């Protein structure tokens, strides 16, 4: 019995050992055959892992960039919020109820309002203002931007940080719904809306006494600020003046004299660098500001009310803005030929009282109507060369247009007023002599039907 049991145990052990041996051989064979059948398996698995890691890193990089951009935008919004807060605090300090001493201090401040939109070249206009500005406190610069153009906003923001200018943004960027016949004028509707908002900020929020308005495509002369400083007292004193402009519509090279100090009264509202008082805007213009073509609206008799602007012989602004709502046509035909004054005239040291209406009118009439009369053809041919001041007379709308074309000046009318005219007279130079294109001395007023 014992021997049998021992033999059975040995047999069991041999069988178990044989099974383990077979199993080990099977596993070894399987591993070797699988390895030979897929020699790149390990390498593929490692490559896939590396690819996945690379994808994760790239994904994280994108997320980090987005996070940085969000932080940058948050920082910019915070800066803008701080500026707006400072803007409101200053405005609150200048509310109509402030004390007379504060009002008097603010009387000498003439802010420059720059109207901007989507021109990244706004830096050129800002650089000139900063170059020629004689006083930061007297001439604070406020850029009002429409359009929501991010690249232009970035350019302006650089000046906010480096030169402490104020950057405000027109908040209403909604589309203006127009009938099909007026859609081509959409740009002019948006410009009028922007001007209204910007002027409200200057005169209602800030409560400044006056403002000098420029656009983002204007170069200025070295005496730009000197010119407006000297003429501002006249604007306040003379009830028949309602604006001062830096522009002469007939200010092309060869059509102006070399006398940079010459200034005139004009019935025509020129724009393109101009100054008005708060009283005019708040009491008159703000109430009925137009939906479009604000500059032509300013030239209408209902707004002008027989008042005049001061304008220079030689422009104190010139435009480099070929791109615009007019598609560059007016620029190519006219604006690029305008001469910009480059000589500094010390206007604040000069007596400009001759520009007051009571002094100006008698002197002006005498100069014009004492000049000998020539025809436009005679002027062009250089006849009677000894006469350095001459008059060419027109008798009606068609007569004016015909002779204006012959003499090379602007021949159009706005509400019946020729460009740069005073009492119907347009003054300019032809072949180095003064020419007055004038109506008869019996002239009694403009005819708004002339257009």
pLDDT at 25: 58
C-alpha 347, offset from chain centre: 27
Q: What is residue 14's predicted lDDT score, i.e. its pLDDT?
A: 54
Told to judge if 295 belongs to the known catalytic residues of this protein, a careful annotator would answer yes
pLDDT of residue 56: 73
CA distance 26 to 353: 118
Number of residues written out for the chain: 451
Extract the tokens encoding 292: 């479009």
User: Which of the four CATH numbers 3.90.550.10, 3.20.20.140, 3.50.50.60, 3.40.50.300 does domain 98-355 have?
Assistant: 3.90.550.10
* Separation of CA 29 from chain center: 84
Q: Which fold has domain 366-438?
A: 2,3-Dihydroxybiphenyl 1,2-Dioxygenase; domain 1 (3.10.180)
- Which of 118, 200, 240, 295 does the annotation list as catalytic? 295
Output the tens digit of pLDDT for each of the chain's 451 residues: 555 455 545 555 555 565 556 555 555 555 555 544 455 545 557 677 667 777 777 777 777 666 666 665 565 555 555 554 554 454 444 443 333 333 344 468 999 999 999 999 999 999 999 999 999 999 999 999 999 999 999 999 999 989 989 999 999 999 999 999 999 999 999 999 999 999 999 999 999 999 999 999 999 999 999 999 999 999 999 999 999 999 999 999 999 999 999 999 999 999 999 999 999 999 999 999 999 999 999 999 999 999 999 999 999 999 997 776 655 667 888 899 999 999 999 999 999 999 999 999 999 999 999 999 999 999 999 999 999 999 999 999 999 999 999 999 999 999 999 999 999 999 999 999 999 999 999 999 999 999 8
CA distances from 337 to 94, 251, 253, 254, 256 (A): 42, 8, 7, 10, 12
User: 312 CB contacts (<8 Å, ≥6 apart)?
Assistant: 227, 246, 247, 248, 251, 260, 262, 263, 264, 341
Half-sphere exposure of 92 (CA within 13 A, CB side): 6
CA-closest candidate to residue 286, choices 298, 275, 274, 271: 298
Query: Whole-angstrom Cα distance, residue 155 to residue 167?
Result: 11
Where along the chain do its domains lie?
A: 57-93, 98-355, 366-438
pLDDT for the residue 420 = 98
Q: How far apart are CA 276 and CA 289, in angstroms?
A: 15
Helix or strand holding residue 228 (H, E): helix 224-237
Q: What is the pLDDT of residue 295?
A: 97
**Sheet containing 426-430: order of strands:** 389-393, 433-438, 426-430
């Amino acid at each position: 019995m014992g021997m049998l049991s021992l033999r059975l145990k040995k047999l069991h052990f041999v069988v178990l050992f044989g099974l383990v041996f077979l199993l080990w051989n099977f596993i070894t064979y399987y591993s070797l055959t699988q390895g030979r059948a897929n020699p790149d398996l390990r390498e593929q698995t490692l490559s896939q892992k590396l690819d996945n890691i690379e994808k994760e890193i790239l994904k994280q990089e994108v997320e980090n960039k987005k996070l940085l951009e969000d932080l940058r935008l948050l920082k910019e919004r915070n800066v803008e919020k701080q500026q707006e807060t400072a803007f409101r605090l200053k405005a609150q300090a200048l509310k109509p109820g402030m004390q007379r001493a504060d009002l008097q201090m603010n009387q000498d401040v003439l802010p420059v309002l720059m109207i901007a939109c989507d021109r990244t070249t706004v830096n050129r206009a800002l650089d000139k203002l900063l170059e020629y500005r004689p006083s930061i406190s007297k001439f604070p610069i406020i850029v009002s931007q429409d359009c929501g153009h991010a690249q232009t906003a970035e350019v302006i923001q650089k000046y906010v940080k480096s030169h402490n200018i104020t950057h405000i943004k027109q908040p209403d960027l909604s589309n203006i719904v127009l009938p099909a016949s007026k859609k081509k004028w959409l740009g002019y509707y948006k410009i009028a809306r922007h001007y209204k908002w910007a002027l409200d900020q200057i005169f209602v929020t800030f409560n400044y006494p006056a403002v000098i308005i420029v656009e983002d495509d204007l170069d200025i002369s070295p005496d730009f600020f000197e010119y407006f400083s000297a003429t501002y007292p006249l604007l306040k004193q003379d009830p028949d003046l309602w604006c001062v402009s830096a522009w002469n519509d007939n200010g092309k090279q060869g059509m102006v004299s070399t006398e940079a100090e010459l200034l005139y009264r004009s019935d025509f509202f020129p724009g393109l660098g101009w100054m008005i008082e708060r009283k005019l805007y708040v009491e008159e213009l703000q109430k009925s500001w137009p939906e479009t073509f604000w500059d032509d609206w300013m030239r209408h008799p209902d707004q002008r009310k027989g008042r005049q602007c001061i304008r220079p012989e030689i422009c104190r602004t010139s435009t480099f803005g070929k791109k615009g709502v007019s598609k560059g046509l007016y620029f190519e035909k006219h604006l690029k030929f305008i001469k910009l004054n480059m000589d500094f005239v010390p206007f604040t040291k000069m007596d400009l009282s001759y520009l007051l209406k009571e002094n100006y009118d008698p002197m002006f009439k005498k100069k014009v109507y004492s000049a000998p009369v020539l025809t436009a053809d005679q002027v062009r041919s250089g006849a009677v060369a000894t006469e350095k001041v001459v008059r060419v007379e027109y008798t009606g709308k068609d007569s004016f247009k015909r002779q204006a074309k012959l003499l090379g000046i602007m021949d159009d009318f706005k509400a019946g007023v020729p460009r740069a005219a005073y009492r119907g007279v347009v003054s300019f130079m032809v072949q180095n002599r003064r020419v007055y294109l004038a109506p008869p001395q019996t002239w009694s007023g403009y005819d708004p039907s002339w257009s």
